[in-house]
Chain A
Amino acid sequence: MILFKKLHTFVFLCVSMIIFSNNAMANTTIQLWHQMIYSHREVLKKVVDDFEAKHPTIKVQVTYRETEELRSAFQSSSMGGSGPELIYGPSDQVGPFATMNLIRPLDNLIPIEEQKKFDPLALVKFNQKTYMIGNTVGNFLMLIYNKKLVPNPPKTLEELIKIGQSLTKDFNGDGKIDQFGFAFNFTEPFFFVPWIDGFGDHFMTEKNQPNLNSKAMISAFGLMRDFRDKYKIIPKECDYEMANSLFKEGKAGMIINGDWSWGDYKSAKIDFGIARFPLINSTNLWPAPLVGTTGYSVNANIEDPLKLKDTLELLNFLTSKETQLIFTKEVSTYPSRFEARLDPLVINNDILKEASKIMEVGKPMPVVPEVRAVWDSLRGQYQSVLAGSATPEQAAQKAQEEALKQIQSMNEELTPGPTLYLVWLLFAAILGFLLFYIATRIKKFLKDFKGANKFPYLMMAPAFISIFSVIIYPFFYNLALSFSNFSLKTFNNWTLIGLHHYQSVIVDPKFYEVFLKTIIWTISNVFFHVSIGVLLAVIIEQVMPKKNLWRTLLIIPWAVPQYITALTWRGMFNQEYGPINIFLQEYLKLSPIQWLSQPWTTFSACVITNVWLGFPFMMIVALGGLQSISPDLYESAKMDGANAWQRFKHITWPMLQPVIRPAALLGAIWTFNTLNVIWLVSNSGEPADQTHILVSYVYKAAFNLYRYGYAAALSMIIFIILIVMSLVVNKINKESKESNS
């Protein structure tokens, strides 16, 4: 009774709150989703509060989301016909969103004269239409130098090399470089493409087509290799984190990094200056960093004209000169309105002044969806050059071919084929199955539900609904997608086309290569998980004092979030500074292994990382199993004359089987399906997409290249493989069980 009263009060409170807030609230509510970093968020809140004060009839709901999450959440909510009125994010989301018709062009909404007041870099265009207005420009790379080591920044490439060589030093003479002249994330294409412009070409044509097979590309490839091998001014292996920490520790004189890193260096107390990339002497051209913007786009779904008006009101306010200057003052952003740039706040800021000079030679960040395909094919080939497995000429040619191929498959609009009938047949079969086998049950359920068992069914409903919505529905949706032409171009009007994707998976030799790798991956992982897990469990249980302490210590790898472990191991595999190579060199007197730049060593690195992550689970399972073995049995075996190994072989191992077998099957499925480790340790399949297992391959197809239908078909195939695998393993288990008993 009391519970009911409380519930009643609660409902009443909720209802009255809604009524009350509706009365007190404004006529329009505008939702704004953004991905601003923490300090910017604070400023945004102030600005929005100000806006609401000035427009009492408009209420603004501000929601923060991390960049990728923002992208996917906006995508799904807008497809459903809703979503926030305004979305704030990086310029490269414009291409996909505009292609999917999720955001509307702003040209009819914002007059041309008004648009002209903005830096063109801040007006993000797609197919000649403006889709985004940035309130700031930036997100570009530059040369950042440590004034202590480099008093004057190099103007030209020659100077850069000279300064670099004079600063690259081995202080203690141990054969390892202690200070580098130059460091940057040179394996990542984003950090590489500015150099291409220095040799006289851009990596994309005016028409947004890939332009990778150029002389400039070949020269730039060569330069990167020379930085490392000829001039020796950069570390042999260097990712973003490593370059960043070298610079922050004062162990690198110069770095290439973006405007986002300034705060980081300030707090590391580095006295730094910024400059353009050095002029390339042979061409007398400046390398051109890509300049992006982060800005606002308007949802295509707004139909109410009043709401649209209020949304534009907010958009204008957020991109106004005043707002931009508030951001400049608080968080030092470079305004996108020309008039705001004349303000003393901007003029008197040395860094911003220098930044504007750098941006003069910049190129706008391409926003077309095809750029992903370009990055992807460039990355692979570029890394082959660095790994020495391709010449610059070969790589440039192959990158161009691959980019074109990927763009083609990204943009292909498939039409229904003859195999569509098979799909309908399959659906009919499924329906028939449901009718024949489940209909009687549904009938029984309905009868039961109307009868005495209503309450139990209602109690089961939440579980059933959640299972249906997270397992059954997505499964059938995925099945449908796998027979469809769902891709970037057909986002809003996809249809079933037949077995096309299944056919293309089955004839693709790459599929079999990845499948083979997946099998090797799974077997080697499970083998080491079980053997190390059981070994440690036996040692802990039977040999070590303080069992609990050891058990806790050894569970730690499992308790640490996977991505932290994966990235830590990635660092440990560094060719020059990774503890693993140092160990190999110092203690085993072996030559260092280029772990992360050769296909099989990268694969091994992934296996080692995953073994580290996975053995504690098997250890815990084995410990549980060991505890259920009576100590009497070991004593009996001792009396029977068995030594330690014989006791393990004849008592421990067979008695662990009942727990180890199901755990190993589960482990095999998990390992087969694990994405994190492969993705993070190999940095999404490096080198050159050689390090993939089926799931990472699917992930890449779906989310990097927008080939949803293909990815769905591939994941159905993985599903079938796993089902077959489980059935086979279960059968083997059953047989061995039967033969045992």
Chain B
Amino acid sequence: MNALELKNITKSFGFNTILKNVSLEVNLGEFLVLVGPSGCGKSTLLRIISGLESSSTGEVFIGGKNITLVEPQNRDIAMVFQSYALYPHMSVYENMEFSLKIRKLPPVEIRNRIHEIADLLQMTPLLQRKPKDLSGGQRQRVSLGRALARRAPVILFDEPLSNLDAHLRQQMRIEIKKIHQIFKSTIIYVTHDQTEAMTMGDRIAVLNKGQIEQIDSPFNIYHSPKNIFVANFIGTPEMNLLNGEMRNNYFVHKDFDFNISKDISSHDVVLGIRPENITLSENQGIAGTVQFFENLGPNGLLHVHTGNEVIKLFIQGQNIPKINDKVFLNVDQSKLKLFDKKSGSLIQ
């Protein structure tokens, strides 16, 4: 049985359609990440699951039960907000206690649960403090703890880490993932940060303009993007996308061409190749001029100018070409992706 199922969810505000016919199934205990650019509808989708927003059409099922018309307070879903939404007049303990008290759990049980979570999240010393006396990271922990203490079968995360600095964010990513492994709750996690999506999700659903472009494991999303949008959106730095056309097994670009031993029927194509799949070569391949070098620490990103395009590739080691040096680029044929220019979908 699925933990959660969405059937044909559509949401419009006036003439503005935010979600178009979205269907989705989330397995029990799965960590699903909804990722997409701003305005793609991912937060709206999450709010429809939570019940804070109602869908225009479509249905929501939790554990096989249709809860489309059920009020949020009766859905038994926990949620972690981007702003943390801690109750400022209550202590950390009271914040965590609130939902349990509302649900009339026995006091002993409430105390045990809170202390268990507080130990886990290392916030026992904070229990008597008010939210205003906590740092951003601590507040995030409390907000997380509050959701966990509920032991709700489904926990929703609405961009929970976006207010934290890079270092904390990384820490919390790991922590949330660890907690998921302990509690095995079903988690739906919204983010616009594809690194977060890649590192945390069991599966990732990429949303664009109110539709799910692809839903798959992080590995597949990265290595087998279904279309140009997913290819471009996932991965830092993004995939190199080169416009060109196919002529007799040859990919012909304005400035260069090379043989692709694949039988392609399309004419206008976009060739996609990730930066790590391009290497520098001595004297053959695509010719270009070095434009810029980004030092990323363990490796570096070289920007190479080839006529009208800029191709990015990772390089390692000491021999870094200088700016304006002439270089040749070798493409790993087995890794390149071809997309139909018109439909944007993967050809091969």
Which A residues lie at the B interface, using CB under 8 A? Answer: 630, 632-633, 635-643, 646, 650-651, 654-655, 657, 740-741
6 A-B pairs in the complex with CB atoms less than 8 angstroms apart = A636-B81, A636-B87, A638-B73, A641-B102, A650-B87, A654-B89
Tell me if B83 is interfacial: C-beta within 8 Å of chain A: yes
Closest to A654 in B: B89
Q: Which residues of B contact A651 (CB under 8 A)?
A: 87
- Is A639 in contact with B79, judged by CB distance below 8 angstroms? yes
Is B83 within 8 A of A643, CB to CB?
no
Chain B residues whose C-beta falls within 8 Å of the C-beta of A654 in the assembled complex:
89
Distance between A239 CB and nearest chain B CB, rounded to angstroms: 51
B79 partner residues in chain A, CB cutoff 8 A: 635-636, 639
> B87 near A633 (CB under 8 angstroms)?
yes
**Contacts from B to A (Cβ < 8 Å):** 50-52, 71-74, 76-79, 81, 83, 85-89, 98-99, 102-103, 130, 146, 150
- B83-A638 in contact (CB<8A): no
* Complex interface: chain B residues within 8 A of A637 (CB): 87, 98
A639 touches B98 (CB 8 A): no
With contact pairs A630-B83, A632-B81 given, residues A639 and B73 touching in the complex (Cβ less than 8 Å): yes
Contacts of A642 in B (CB 8 A): 73, 98-99, 102
Most B CB atoms within 10 A — which of A636, A638, A650, A655?
A636
Of A630, A639, A657, A741, which contacts B50 at CB under 8 A?
A639
- Give the chain A neighbours of B85 by CB distance below 8 A: 630, 632-633, 635-636
Complex Cα gap A646–B73 (Å): 11
Whole-angstrom CA separation of A638 from B74 in the bound complex = 9
Q: Which B residues are CB-close (under 8 A) to A630?
A: 83, 85
Instruction: Tell me whether A741 and B130 are in contact in the complex, defined as CB-CB below 8 angstroms, given that A632-B85, A636-B79 are known contacts.
Output: yes
Known A-B contacts A632-B83, A643-B73; A655 and B99 likewise in contact (beta carbons under 8 Å): no
Cβ of A638 and Cβ of B72 under 8 Å apart? yes
Inter-subunit contact A640/B130 (CB<8 Å): no
Q: Do B98 and A650 have beta carbons less than 8 Å apart? A: yes
**C-alpha spacing A641/B98, complex, angstroms:** 9
Query: Nearest 6 A-B pairs (CB), nearest first?
Result: A640-B99, A636-B85, A632-B85, A638-B72, A639-B79, A641-B102
Which single member of B52, B88, B150 contacts A638 (CB below 8 Å)? B52
Q: Which residues of B contact A639 (CB under 8 A)?
A: 50, 52, 72-73, 77-79, 99
Give B307 Cβ to nearest chain A Cβ, in Å. Answer: 51
Whether the Cβ atoms of A740 and B98 lie closer than 8 Å is no
Contact indicator B52/A635 (Cβ below 8 Å)? yes
Residues of chain A with a CB closer than 8 A to B150's CB = 640
**12 further A-B pairs in the complex, CB-CB below 8 A; given A636-B87, A641-B73:** A630-B85, A635-B50, A635-B72, A635-B79, A637-B87, A639-B73, A639-B99, A640-B98, A640-B99, A640-B102, A650-B98, A741-B130
A630 CA / B85 CA spacing, docked (Å): 8
- Residue pair B74, A641 in contact (C-beta under 8 Å): yes
Q: Could you tell me the distance between the alpha carbons of A639 and B78 in the complex, rounded to whole angstroms?
A: 6
Smallest Cβ-Cβ distance to A741: which chain B residue: B130
Chain B nearest CB: distance from A113 CB in Å?
87
| Contact yes or no, A655 B77, CB < 8 A | no
Minimum CB distance partner of A639 in chain B: B79
Q: Which of B73, B78, B99 has the most chain A CB atoms closer than 10 A to its own CB?
A: B73
A641 to B100, CA, bound (A): 9
Closest Cβ of chain A to B319, distance in Å, is 53
Q: Chain A contacts of B52 at CB under 8 A? A: 635, 638-639
Known contacts A635-B81, A636-B79, A741-B130, A641 near B87 by CB under 8 Å:
no
**Which residue of chain A has its CB nearest to the CB of B78?**
A639
The closest CB in chain B to the CB of A647 belongs to: B73
The CA-CA distance from A599 to B46 in the complex, in Å, is: 62
Interface centre among A630, A640, A650, A654 (most CB of B within 10 A): A640
**Min CB gap B148→A, angstroms:** 13
Question: Which residue of B has the minimal Cβ distance to A651?
Answer: B87
Contacts of A740 in B (CB 8 A): 89
Whole-angstrom distance between the alpha carbons of A635 and B86 in the complex? 11
Cα of A638 to Cα of B103 in the assembled complex, Å: 12
Please, which residue of chain B has its CB at the minimum distance from the CB of A631?
Answer: B85
Nearest to B52 among chain A residues (CB) is: A635
Alpha-carbon gap, A630 to B76, bound state (A): 22
Report Cα–Cα, A639/B79, bound state, in Å.
Answer: 7
CB distance from B158 to the nearest CB of A (A): 10
Q: Compute how far the CA of A657 lies from the CA of B88 in the bound complex, rounded to whole angstroms.
A: 12
A656 to chain B, nearest CB (A): 10
Q: Chain A residues with Cβ under 8 A from B51's Cβ? A: 638
Residue numbers in B under 8 Å from A650 (CB-CB): 87, 98
Give A27 Cβ to nearest chain B Cβ, in Å: 76
Residue of B nearest to A633 (CB): B85
**Distance in angstroms between the alpha carbons of A640 and B72 in the assembled complex:** 9
User: Could you tell me the distance between the alpha carbons of A654 and B88 in the complex, rounded to whole angstroms?
Assistant: 10
Q: How close is A641's CB to chain B, nearest CB, in angstroms? A: 5
A740 to B79, CA, bound (A): 26
Give CA–CA (A740, B52) in the complex, Å: 30
A residues less than 8 Å from B89 (CB atoms): 654-655, 657, 740
- Inter-chain CA distance A661–B130, complex, in Å, is 21
Contacts of B102 in A (CB 8 A): 640-642, 646
CB-CB under 8 A from B71, the residues of chain A are 638
What residue of chain B has the Cβ atom nearest to residue A636's Cβ? B85
Chain B residues, Cβ within 8 Å of A655: 88-89
A643 cross-chain contacts in B, Cβ below 8 A: 73
A740 to B74, CA, bound (A): 30
For the complex, give the distance between the alpha carbons of A636 and B146 in Å: 10
> Across the two chains, which residue of chain A brings its CB closest to B88?
A655
In the docked arrangement, what's the CA distance between A657 and B85, Å? Answer: 19
- Distance A651 CA – B86 CA, assembled complex (angstroms): 11
Q: Smallest CB–CB gap between A655 and chain B, Å?
A: 6
Closest B residue to A643 by beta carbon equals: B73
Complex Cα distance, B99 from A420, in Å, reads: 67
In the bound assembly, the distance between CA atoms of A639 and B87 in angstroms comes to 13
A638 — which chain B residues lie within 8 A by C-beta? 51-52, 71-73
Least Cβ–Cβ distance between B95 and chain A, in angstroms: 9
Min Cβ gap A491→B in Å is: 58
Q: How far is the CB of B325 from chain A (nearest CB, A)?
A: 53
Q: In whole angstroms, how far apart are the Cα atoms of A636 and B79 in the complex? A: 7
Q: How far is the CB of A738 from chain B (nearest CB, A)?
A: 13
Task: Return chain A residues, CB-CB under 8 Å to B130.
Answer: 741
CB distance from B211 to the nearest CB of A (A): 26
Neighbouring A residues of B87 by C-beta, 8 Å: 633, 636-637, 650-651
Q: How far is the CB of A637 from chain B (nearest CB, A)?
A: 8
Q: Which residues of B contact A632 (CB under 8 A)?
A: 81, 83, 85
Across-interface contacts of B74 in A (CB, < 8 A): 641
Residue of B86, B87, B103 with most chain A CB atoms under a 10 A cut-off = B87
CA distance A651 to B88 in the complex (A): 9
Query: What separation, in Å, do the CA atoms of A650 and B87 have in the docked complex?
Result: 9
A654–B77 Cα distance when bound, in Å, is: 25
Q: Shortest CB–CB separation between residue B253 and chain A, in angstroms?
A: 50
Q: A394 vs B346: C-alpha distance in the bound complex, in angstroms? A: 108
Q: How far is the CB of B181 from chain A (nearest CB, A)?
A: 24
Most buried by A among B83, B89, B146: B89
Question: What's the least CB distance linking B193 to chain A, in Å?
Answer: 21
CA distance A642 to B50 in the complex (A): 14
A630, A633, A646, most chain B CB atoms within 10 A = A633
Q: Shortest beta-carbon distance, A311 to chain B, in Å?
A: 72
Q: How far is the CA of A642 from the CA of B104 in the complex (A)?
A: 11
- Nearest chain A CB to B159 CB, angstrom units: 13
Q: Which partner residue on chain A sits nearest B152 by CB separation?
A: A639
Bound Cα distance A143, B316 (Å): 115
User: What residues of chain A lie closer than 8 Å to B99, measured between beta carbons?
Assistant: 639-642
